[in-house]
């Protein structure tokens, strides 16, 4: 009984941690949109990662009782993820976010199942099962609805920029899926943020004017503090820490709240227009994400209950 009680406590703790992470990352979409009014997109990515490093280092210090280390056998994957997900993908997301609604962007970035299907089929020559094909098709229809609703003159290029960012993210996800970590995941994230942050700093110094940080108001610093240490540092840190405490189906269900929080908070905080076609497309995409992520046993249990009624 005591072991079951302890497992339930750990799961409850994991759910709370993941919910806080989802809230932080979801609210970060309107936060980044506002942040782009005070800093350029490349500087935004740079500051987002570099300002989050102390928080991630603290996570490692608390859990490992030492500073972050990079395991030699994890280096190649750390570099790949830093390059594809945190430099290329995040760079494209932030540049595109200047021209499209934050709520729309928060939904479009979750087209990763479509790109992973293409990667698996074209690169790894894997034949997808019918469930995956159907759900990816539903997600693609939802994506098309969002594009049609959001495709105002001049917005097509940034919309497709978001899709390309999602494809690059899928490349990083697939690479990680084939890797067995030797060090801890939170330490890998710390080094990914470190490499990406300093790479974006170098690029920012070359292509964008240096922000006049001395002229920033308190509200500007609070916004950057949310985007970096809170949303990125705490959000990613809690998400990684919650992973071992929860079964995959619960992680999928709770994580799918991120684009919902991003869309709703953008409508409320930024007064973005609530487009019916975008909402319908978002519902299709998110429903496909949830069903695709649930284990077969869970789906059968849910369907079985439905038939029983």
User: Which residues 6+ apart lie within 8 Å of 133 measured at CB?
Assistant: 117
Structure tokens at 95: 């540049």
Instruction: Give the tens place of pLDDT for each residue, 203-220.
Output: 999 999 999 999 999 999
Residue identified by tokens 């500087």 is: 43
pLDDT value of residue 249: 64
Positions in the chain short of pLDDT 50:
1
pLDDT value of residue 154: 57
User: Which residues 6+ apart lie within 8 Å of 78 measured at CB?
Assistant: 70, 188, 191, 192, 195
pLDDT value of residue 1: 44
Instruction: Reduce the secondary structure of the chain to three states and give it as a string.
Output: CHHHHHHHHHHHHHHHHHHHHHHHHHHHHHHHHHHCCCCCHHHHHHHHHHHHHHHHHHHHHHHHCCCCCCCHHHHHHHHHHHHHHHHHHHHHHHHHHCCCCHHHHHHHCCCHHHHHHHHHHHHCCCCCCHHHHHHHHHHHHHHHHHHHHHCCCCCHHHHHHHHHHHHHHHHHHHHHHCCCCCCCHHHHHHHHHHHHHHHHHHHHHHHCCCCCHHHCCHHHHHHHHHHHHHHHHHHHHHHHHHHHHCCHHHHHHHHCHHHHHHHHHHHHHHCCCCCHHHHHHHHHHHHHHHHHHCCHHHHHHHHHHHHHC
pLDDT value of residue 98: 93
Cβ-based burial of 304 (10 A; exposed 0-12, middle 13-18, buried ≥19): exposed
pLDDT value of residue 153: 52
Instruction: Give the tens place of pLDDT for each residue, 244-267.
Output: 777 766 777 788 889 889 999 999
Please count the other Cβ atoms lying within 10 Å of the Cβ belonging to residue 266: 25
CA 92 to chain centre: 13
Angle (deg, nearest 10), helices 248-255 and 276-293: 170
Q: Residue ranges of the domains in the chain?
A: 13-308
pTM of the model: 0.86
Pair 273, 300: CB distance under 8 Å? no
Best CA proximity match to 252, nearest among 301, 203, 209, 289: 289
User: Which residues 6+ apart lie within 8 Å of 173 measured at CB?
Assistant: 85, 112, 116
């Amino acid at each position: 009984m005591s072991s079951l009680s302890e497992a339930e406590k750990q799961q409850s703790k994991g759910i709370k941690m993941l919910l806080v992470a989802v809230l932080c990352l979801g609210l970060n979409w309107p936060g980044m949109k506002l942040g782009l009014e005070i800093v350029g997109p490349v500087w935004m990515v740079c500051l987002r990662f570099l300002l989050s490093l102390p928080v991630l280092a603290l996570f490692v210090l608390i859990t490992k009782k030492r500073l972050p280390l990079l395991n030699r056998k994890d280096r190649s994957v750390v570099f790949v993820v830093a390059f594809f997900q945190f430099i290329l993908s995040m760079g494209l997301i932030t540049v595109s976010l200047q021209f499209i609604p934050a709520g729309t962007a928060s939904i479009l970035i979750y087209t990763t199942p479509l790109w992973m299907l293409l990667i698996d089929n074209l690169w790894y020559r894997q034949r997808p099962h019918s469930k995956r094909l159907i759900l990816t098709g539903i997600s693609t229809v939802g994506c098309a609805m969002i594009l049609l609703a959001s495709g105002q003159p001049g917005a097509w290029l940034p919309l497709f920029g978001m899709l390309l960012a999602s494809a690059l993210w899928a490349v990083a996800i697939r690479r990680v899926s084939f890797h067995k970590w030797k060090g801890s995941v939170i330490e890998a994230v710390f080094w990914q943020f470190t490499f990406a942050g300093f790479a974006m700093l170098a690029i920012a110094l070359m292509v964008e004017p240096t922000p006049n940080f001395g002229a920033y108001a308190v509200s500007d610093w609070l916004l950057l503090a949310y985007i970096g240490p809170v949303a990125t540092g705490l959000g990613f840190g809690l998400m990684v820490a919650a992973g071992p405490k929860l079964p995959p189906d619960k992680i999928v269900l709770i994580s799918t709240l991120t684009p919902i929080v991003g869309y709703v908070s953008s409508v409320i905080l930024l007064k973005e227009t609530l487009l019916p076609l975008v909402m319908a497309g978002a519902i299709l995409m998110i429903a496909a994400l949830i069903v695709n992520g649930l284990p077969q046993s869970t789906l059968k249990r849910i369907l079985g209950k439905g038939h029983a009624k």
